[in-house]
């Protein structure tokens, strides 16, 4: 199975950031003939602090994502946090994503499945790869034809994650599309004073390790200037560095 790539800023910050990232992803798509999904969140409902930036909201966010698709032709992926969001999101994006902490929320999975769009379920930080059998069943029994699973690490004490790459092989029992979230897996949840920290220097190695374990997709949060990003900056790749990482995974 040919690998896919999911990439984009963590949250919708501005049209200019969306355009800059989308232009680069389109260039890479055309240059290397790889399937790339543009990802950005319209609402980060799970931020550490109530004072953290969440995004432009459902209506404005979907309009901005739709504009990206119209301008650049890239397929879209975004996440939902509430069941009512599934239907309007499914009318705009190509893949609906379920956040890790919510992957056991039955109503959320059912409504996402009812849209008929592929559903990408992130494995919770407290579950094993084998546990993901049940979220997959919830989606498929609710009408989803295409279900993806994404590994993003497990809690390892406080404010830290560790990746058991055997989860990739275990999740392949349930779906052939198993994705490695290479940037969230180096996150340090809640470890930066009311927000999450991270170690972006480990992202390329995380991607290569996932390749060795048979990943069929790769997820990256990328930004023109991660130090100024409004969410997840410490674990995001610089946009200028993404091409080299992508190349290491398609060679």
pLDDT at 159: 85
Q: What is the mean pLDDT of residues 87-98?
A: 98
Beta bridge partners of 181: 219
Euclidean distance between CA atoms 242 and 147, whole angstroms = 26
Asked whether the beta carbons of 137 and 168 are under 8 A apart, the reply is no
pLDDT(168) > 90: yes
pLDDT at 45: 87
Tell me the two tokens of residue 102: 């919510």
Which residues contact residue 100 at a Cβ distance below 8 angstroms, ignoring those fewer than 6 apart? Answer: 122, 123, 124, 125, 152, 184
pLDDT at 170: 98
pTM for this model (two decimals): 0.94
pLDDT band at 194 (very low <50, low <70, confident <90, very high): low
Give the β-pairing of 217-223 and 197-198.
unpaired
């Amino acid at each position: 199975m040919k690998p896919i790539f999911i990439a984009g800023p963590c949250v919708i910050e501005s049209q200019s950031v969306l355009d800059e990232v989308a232009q680069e992803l389109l260039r890479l798509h055309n240059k290397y003939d790889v399937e790339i999904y543009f990802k950005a969140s319209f609402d980060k409902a799970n931020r550490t602090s109530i004072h953290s930036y969440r995004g432009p909201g459902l209506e404005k966010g979907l309009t901005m994502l739709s504009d990206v698709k119209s301008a650049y032709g890239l397929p879209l992926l975004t996440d939902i946090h509430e069941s009512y969001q599934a239907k309007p999101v499914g009318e705009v994006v190509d893949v609906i994503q379920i956040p890790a902490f919510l992957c056991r929320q039955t109503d959320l999975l059912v409504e996402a499945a009812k849209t008929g769009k592929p559903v990408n379920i992130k494995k919770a930080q407290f579950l094993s790869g084998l546990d993901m059998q049940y979220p997959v069943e919830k989606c498929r029994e609710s009408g989803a034809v295409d279900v993806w699973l994404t590994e993003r690490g497990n809690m390892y004490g406080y404010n830290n994650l560790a990746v058991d790459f055997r989860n990739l092989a275990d999740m392949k029992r349930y779906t052939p599309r198993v994705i490695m979230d290479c940037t969230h897996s180096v996150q340090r949840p809640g470890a930066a004073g009311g927000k999450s920290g991270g170690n972006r220097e480990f992202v390329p190695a995380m991607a290569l390790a996932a390749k060795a374990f048979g990943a069929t997709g790769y997820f990256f949060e990328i930004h023109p200037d991660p130090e100024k990003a409004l969410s997840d900056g410490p674990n995001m790749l610089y946009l200028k560095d993404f091409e080299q990482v992508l190349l290491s995974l398609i060679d």
